[in-house]
Chains A and B, each alone.
Chain A
Amino acid sequence: MSDVVIGISDLKVSNKADDVLVTYALGSCIAVAIYDPRAKVGGLLHYMLPDSTLDLNKAKATPGMFADTGIPLLFKACYNLGAQKKSMIVKVVGGASILDDTNYFRIGQKNIMAVRKMFWKNNVMINGEDTGSNYNRTVRLEISTGKVFVKRSGGLLREL
């Protein structure tokens, strides 16, 4: 098995049974893992910010930076490998926040809202979610099985 690493603001898709798509140490960022068990095609996105209207040029150059440009591209890239929307399994991880009673650093929550809103609008069900709280998460998506594993900083690996 070989690890394919996805950095911040990046996304990758694969149909190679050997591949494991991995993204490390999500903070307030979100990882979206999608998988079509029939086509055995999967993809992983690590976006940083909710909304591309912040900087449209950046969004053009690095669509994976934003929820609203990264998520559609993730699906399209999987369709290109033969995946279909109706059989897609969708999992969402990340969106942590600092301990913040006054709620002034809201990027984690905004990132969570962005992905939920987008899937709700497009009639996509989220099959598994591990978001919020205040720890980092590493996410692994096995292309051979479609299993998604999440590891919190200093904690154990567990399947989502």
Chain B
Amino acid sequence: MINKIIKSVNDLPAFPATVVKVMGLLSREDYSLAEVTKIISFDQSLTVNILKISNSAQFSSGRSIKTIRDAVCYLGKENLIRAVQTAGISKYYKTKVKGYVSSASDLWEHSVAVALMSQILSKKIYGVENSVLYTAALLHDVGKIIMGEYIYESIEKINLLVDKRQCSFLEAEEVIIGMNHAELGGKITGQWNFPAEICDAISFHHHPDLLDNTSADTQWIVYLADQLCMMLGIGNGVDGLAYRGVSKVLRKFDLRDKDLQVYMMDLLDALDDARSMLEIV
């Protein structure tokens, strides 16, 4: 089964070239606004989605963004990166999925919620938002897009392990499918040439403690953001909340139960501001 899964990863369409190009430009200190505008404008569907995303209150703070030039000028670099990544990544969620969720838009809603939560956490913990973390969070469940088909075929066996053997859903995936969706997600983003920080954060988003000490804590924040969104029931699927808690996360960031409750309230506001990001899928 694993060989078949790996083949599906290799067969996935390449990550949109326009997004890769724009990200390359934006990674420079001195990017040209005109050049970024020109490259995005060549890609019509990307343009439409970036405009929709840019006009959500999350990004525009009320200003009307009518053209890509407006977006490039007014959003600021970090927001522009987030808008471009969101538009590019959304493409993979406009598909029929089986297994975890009844519709891909549930998976997209969950992904957007985790991405927004990752920024809430980053602001509270580090004082700044972080677009690399945002991208990792938005893509954390991308493995489910391919894995869903195998989950669909094996769901009874998996449920049996979860219900009767006290397995987590992730452990059941490993036993029945031979691989878990987090690991698979890391392979997909690896195939798309995303930086190691993002691939690792995705691969370890259910077990941040198993990743050897790295300089960044991206996988920990994605993990916590995911847990909180699961608890809120946003876009959850057949796996529900059947994942293991890693209690170290609270000590690591010196957080209390009350802090988590406040982040949940903040997320509802952020989601309200981000309606148009949900609508693009």
Are A and B a genuine interacting pair, yes or no?
Answer: yes
Q: Within the assembled complex, what's the spacing in Å between the Cα atoms of A68 and B71?
A: 43
Does B24 count as interface, using CB distance less than 8 angstroms? no
Does B236 count as interface, using CB distance less than 8 angstroms? yes
Among B166, B231, B239, B242, the one with the most A-chain Cβ atoms within 10 Å of its Cβ is: B231
Judge whether B241 and A134 touch: CB under 8 Å: yes
- Residues from chain B with a CB closer than 8 A to the CB of A27 are 230-234, 236, 240-241
Judge whether A25 and B261 touch: CB under 8 Å: no
Judge whether B262 and A107 touch: CB under 8 Å: no
* Residue in contact with A55 in the complex, picked from B155, B233, B239, B262, CB distance below 8 Å: B262
Judge whether B264 and A153 touch: CB under 8 Å: no
Does B63 count as interface, using CB distance less than 8 angstroms? no
Q: Within the assembled complex, what's the spacing in Å between the Cα atoms of A107 and B244?
A: 15
The chain B residue with its CB closest to the CB of A138 is B233
Judge whether B233 and A98 touch: CB under 8 Å: no
The chain A residue with its CB closest to the CB of B101 is A153
- Number of A residues near B (Cβ < 8 Å) is 33
* Residue in contact with B236 in the complex, picked from A25, A54, A106, CB distance below 8 Å: A25
Judge whether A54 and B258 touch: CB under 8 Å: yes
Judge whether B238 and A153 touch: CB under 8 Å: yes
- A48-B232 in contact given A54-B262, A65-B265 (Cβ < 8 Å): yes
Does A22 count as interface, using CB distance less than 8 angstroms? no
Judge whether A135 and B247 touch: CB under 8 Å: no
Closest approach, in angstroms, between the C-beta of B67 and any C-beta of chain A? Answer: 34
The chain A residue with its CB closest to the CB of B162 is A134
Judge whether A105 and B265 touch: CB under 8 Å: no
Q: Which residues of A are interface residues toward B (Cβ below 8 A)?
A: 8-9, 24-29, 48-49, 54-55, 58, 65, 96-102, 104-108, 110, 134-136, 152-154
Please, could you name 30 A-B residue pairs with CB atoms under 8 Å apart, sorted by A?
A24-B233, A27-B230, A27-B232, A27-B236, A28-B231, A28-B233, A48-B265, A49-B261, A49-B265, A54-B265, A55-B262, A58-B265, A96-B231, A97-B241, A98-B241, A99-B168, A99-B241, A100-B244, A104-B250, A104-B257, A105-B231, A105-B245, A107-B260, A108-B231, A134-B240, A134-B241, A136-B241, A153-B239, A154-B238, A154-B240
Q: Which residues of B are interface residues toward A (Cβ below 8 A)?
A: 155, 159, 166, 168, 227, 230-245, 247, 250, 257-258, 260-262, 264-265, 268
Known: A55-B265, A154-B238. 13 other contacts (CB 8 A): A25-B234, A27-B234, A28-B231, A49-B265, A99-B243, A100-B245, A102-B245, A108-B231, A136-B241, A153-B236, A153-B239, A153-B240, A154-B159
